[in-house]
C-alpha cells in the first residue's frame, strides 16, 4: 500500500527552505545537494531531541525516574535499529558508537589483535574503510571494472590467491563518489566460502537502500554493518556497529566506566555485550534520535521514498549527461533501478572542480561537495590517472600545493529534494560549463575558490545567540 505521505516528504525535514545570499546582494531559497556528506534532521527527530532533553539523564544503574526513562529510551533505540537492519540478535550485537569511522576503527583494532590475517578491500573504499586496515592488519586491494564497479572476479581471485590469509572482506555498501550499490550479499557468500567475514560500510547505503543482515546461517549473511546517524536524518553524534557477538573477546578498544562487571586491585572483569563496548557515558540523545529517525522513515514509507529518490537520481544523471562538456564519473548509463543512489560526481572540461562548486554556491545558492570525497584511489581510478600522474600530484600536495589535487563535483540528493531543484541545478551547470560566470574567482593555496570580493559575511548561530544575550 502506498504511504499517505508519498510525495510530501519535504515537509518532514528541518531547515530546507533557508534563504541563502547570492551574487548581487540578494538571496534565493537554497538547494542542498550535499546530502552524502551529512543530512538535515527530520523535524520529528529535531523536536524529539528538544523534548527528550527535559528528561535526559545518565543511563544504566540509575534508580531515579529520569535515569530509568532514559535507559528505556536508549535500549528501545537499539531494538529499533536492530529491526531496521534485520539483525540476527542471537548471534550479533548492536553497539552505539560515534559513527561509521569509529565503528570501522574498532573492527580493525580487534581484527588485528585477534585474527592477524589480512583484510581485502576494493579501490572503491572511503578512507574510513581503507586506512584502519592499512595501518593495522595490512590489506590487499582488489581492482574494479574500468567504469568503477565492483569486480567479483577480482575479489574471488584475491581470496583464492591468499590461501586462507584473508580474514575479512571490507566493502562499502554504496559508493559516496558514484552512488554505485555494491552486491554485498554476493560478496558475503564469496568471503564465507573462503573462511573470511564481511564488513559493510553502510554510511551511504543505510539512508537510501534497504539493508537485510540475514540470519547467521545464510551464506549471504552480513557479519559487520556500520552506519552514521548524521547521514540518515539524525545528526546528533551517534552511529551504529553491528558485529558478531563472538568477535569481541579480549579487552575492549575503549576502556572505562560501564564496560566492567568488577575491578579489583589486581583484576578486571569485563561486562557482557553491548556494555563492554560502550565505555563511558554514551550519547543517549544521539542514539534515541537515530532510533526515532529509523522509525520515522519507515512510517513515512521507506520503499516509496527510495523509489522517489531513484527517479530523482535518474533525472539528475540524465540532465548532466545532456550538458556539453560535462562528464559523469562512472558513466551516465541508467542501469537497473536501485543499482545506483541518487548521486552523481562530474567534471567540467577545462574547469577546476573547486571553481564549479564555488560558482554554484555564490551565483545559484546550490550547495555541493567537490574534491576527492575522502576516496582518493577511487577518484584517481575514475579519472583514469596513471600511477606516475598520481605520484606527481602526491609530490605537489606534500610540498603544500593543494591546488594540483584533482577531483570532481558531487551532487547528492535526499527525499526532500524536488524535480524542480534538479532542473535548476542542471541549468546552473549548463551556464557554468559554457563559461557564463557572473563573478571573478580567486583560488587559495588550499585549492578552494572564492569570489574576488570575498564571500558574504556570515554570522554564526553562536554569535547570534551571544548578541541576543
Provide the annotated active-site residues.
374
CB 187 within 8 Å of CB 169: yes
CB 152 within 8 Å of CB 187: yes
Name, in order, each residue with C-beta under 8 angstroms of 108's C-beta and a sequence gap of 6 or more: 119, 132, 133, 136, 137
Measured distance CA(185)–CA(165) in Å, rounded: 21
Angle, CA of 134, 138 and 144, to the nearest 5°: 70
Residue 393, all three cell numbers: 600530484
E strands, 55-153, where? 92-97, 118-122, 139-142
Query: Could you count the other beta carbons within 10 Å of the beta carbon of residue 454?
Result: 8
Residue 154, all three cell numbers: 577480482
Kindly write down the DSSP assignment for every residue of 9-55, as one continuous string: GGGGBSSTT-EEE-TTS-EEE-EE-BTTT--PPBHHHHHHHHHHTTT
Angle, CA of 109, 112 and 113, to the nearest 5°: 85
CB 175 within 8 Å of CB 125: no
- Cell 568471503 found at: 191
Kindly write down the DSSP assignment for every residue of 109-122, as one continuous string: HHHHHHT--EEEEE
Query: Radius of gyration (Cα) for the chain, nearest Å?
Result: 23
Tell whether the torsion through CA atoms of 414, 415, 420 and 423 is positive or negative: positive
Angle, CA of 119, 238 and 50, to the nearest 5°: 170
Amino acid at each position: 500500500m502506498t504511504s499517505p505521505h508519498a510525495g510530501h516528504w519535504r515537509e518532514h525535514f528541518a531547515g530546507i527552505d533557508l534563504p541563502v545570499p547570492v551574487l548581487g546582494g540578494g538571496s534565493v531559497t537554497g538547494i542542498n545537494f550535499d546530502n552524502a556528506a551529512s543530512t538535515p534532521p527530520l523535524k520529528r527527530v529535531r523536536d524529539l531531541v528538544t523534548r527528550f532533553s527535559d528528561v535526559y539523564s545518565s543511563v544504566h544503574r540509575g534508580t531515579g525516574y529520569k535515569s530509568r526513562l532514559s535507559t528505556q529510551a536508549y535500549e528501545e533505540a537499539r531494538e529499533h535499529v536492530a529491526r531496521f537492519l534485520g539483525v540476527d540478535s542471537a548471534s550479533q550485537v548492536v553497539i552505539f558508537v560515534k559513527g561509521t569511522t569509529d565503528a570501522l576503527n574498532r573492527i580493525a583494532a580487534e581484527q588485528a589483535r585477534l585474527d592477524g590475517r589480512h583484510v581485502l578491500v576494493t579501490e572503491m573504499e572511503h578512507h574510513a574503510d581503507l586506512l584502519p586496515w592499512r595501518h593495522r592488519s595490512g590489506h590487499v586491494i582488489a581492482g574494479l571494472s574500468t567504469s568503477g564497479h565492483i569486480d567479483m572476479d577480482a575479489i574471488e581471485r584475491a581470496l583464492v590467491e591468499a590461501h586462507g590469509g584473508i580474514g575479512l572482506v571490507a566493502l562499502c555498501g554504496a559508493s559516496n563518489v558514484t552512488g554505485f550499490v555494491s552486491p554485498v550479499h554476493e560478496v558475503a557468500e564469496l568471503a564465507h566460502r573462503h573462511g573470511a567475514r564481511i564488513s559493510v560500510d553502510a554510511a551511504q547505503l543505510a539512508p537510501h537502500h534497504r539493508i537485510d543482515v540475514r540470519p547467521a546461517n545464510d551464506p549471504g549473511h552480513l557479519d559487520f554493518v556500520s552506519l552514521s546517524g548524521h547521514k540518515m536524518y539524525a545528526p546528533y553524534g551517534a552511529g551504529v556497529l553491528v558485529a558478531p557477538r563472538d568477535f569481541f573477546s579480549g579487552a575492549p578498544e575503549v576502556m572505562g566506566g560501564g564496560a566492567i562487571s568488577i575491578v579489583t586491585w589486581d583484576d578486571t572483569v569485563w561486562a557482557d555485550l553491548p556494555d563492554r563496548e560502550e565505555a563511558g557515558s554514551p550519547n543517549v540523545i544521539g542514539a534515541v534520535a537515530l532510533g526515532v529517525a529509523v522509525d520515522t522513515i519507515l512510517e513515512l514509507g521507506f520503499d516509496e521514498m527510495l523509489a522517489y529518490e531513484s527517479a530523482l537520481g535518474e533525472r539528475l544523471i540524465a540532465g548532466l549527461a545532456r550538458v556539453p562538456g560535462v562528464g559523469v564519473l562512472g558513466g551516465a548509463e541508467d542501469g537497473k533501478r536501485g543499482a545506483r543512489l541518487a548521486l552523481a560526481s562530474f567534471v567540467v572540461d577545462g574547469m577546476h572542480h573547486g571553481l564549479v562548486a564555488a560558482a554554484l554556491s555564490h551565483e545559484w545558492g546550490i550547495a555541493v561537495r567537490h574534491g576527492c570525497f575522502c576516496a582518493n584511489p577511487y577518484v584517481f581510478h575514475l579519472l583514469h590517472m596513471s600511477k606516475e600522474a598520481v605520484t606527481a600530484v602526491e609530490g605537489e600536495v606534500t610540498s603544500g600545493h593543494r591546488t594540483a589535487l584533482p577531483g570532481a563535483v558531487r551532487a547528492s540528493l535526499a527525499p526532500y529534494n524536488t524535480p524542480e531543484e534538479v532542473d535548476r541545478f542542471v541549468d546552473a551547470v549548463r551556464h557554468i560549463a559554457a563559461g557564463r560566470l557572473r563573478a571573478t574567482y580567486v583560488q587559495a593555496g588550499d585549492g578552494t575558490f572564492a569570489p574576488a570580493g570575498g564571500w558574504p559575511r556570515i554570522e554564526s548561530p553562536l554569535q547570534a545567540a551571544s548578541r541576543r544575550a
